[in-house]
Structure 1
């Protein structure tokens, strides 16, 4: 079942149960899928990899907005962002824990032969490809800096 089909099914269920937060989150995902399908070169299709990138982008946007709202003391808007983050997470693969991330990065560092901070670019290139969808870029970057520093 594609992401779009899952979202449509979830929207039906949310409408029946009158779950406004779920419906709002699913509508946002659907809007992004439609936007991706209509982009030049998409040919009306979104690949599984494209869906994953789309969800990651949405997650990053929501987390950035959440940080801003919390800094400005806007609990009402922060709550909406948290609800949408929870909904988007349901469609993403299981996220790596901090320990799992460090173990994966240690093996990548060993395979690349990185020796210090100057090799961060090599490690990041491989790590972002291998760990796509399992964690965000900020977490990878921070862990690589710690391990190489």
Structure 2
């Protein structure tokens, strides 16, 4: 499970004295713990990897937005720090689908659901997120679904 990999990486970073990596890993564990508390679960749920992946994807998205703002503001050193955190977080995310593979998966879902217009977008997006949510950037997937339905 991804959660176990993160905890093991925390121990390894402590032993190696890698303070930057350790700090990012601790942030990840804190966000995951916050999500557990939000869901009111005392233990990890059965689909724990989905929960952890969702939290990590949100963290990456936030950091990418921060990088863009820092670069616009001329604060490259802060952008570099955020980019380093993104690299650490992405180490724990499942491999992402390529654009062609993602479009093929979306086309298959559209055909399977019999979706014909943009009115069906909600159903298609729900199916895409359920089946491939951990392997896709959902903001990009939204545009691809629109393209497949349009």
Fold match by TM threshold 0.5: yes
- For 1:104-143, list aligned pairs within 5 A: 104-143=105-144
TM-score with structure 2 setting the length: 0.85
TM-score with structure 1 setting the length: 0.86
1:97 is matched with which residue?
98
Q: Say whether the 8 Å CA contact 2:3–2:49 is kept in structure 1.
A: no
2:35 is matched with which residue?
36
1:55 is matched with which residue?
56
1:8 is matched with which residue?
7
Measure the CA separation in 2 of the matches of 1:81 and 1:31. Answer: 17
CA RMSD of aligned residues (A): 2.0
1:98 CA drift (Å): 0.6
Q: Say whether the 8 Å CA contact 1:36–1:42 is kept in structure 2.
A: no
Measure the CA separation in 2 of the matches of 1:101 and 1:40. Answer: 30
How many residues align? The count is: 148
- SS for the counterpart of 1:38 is helix
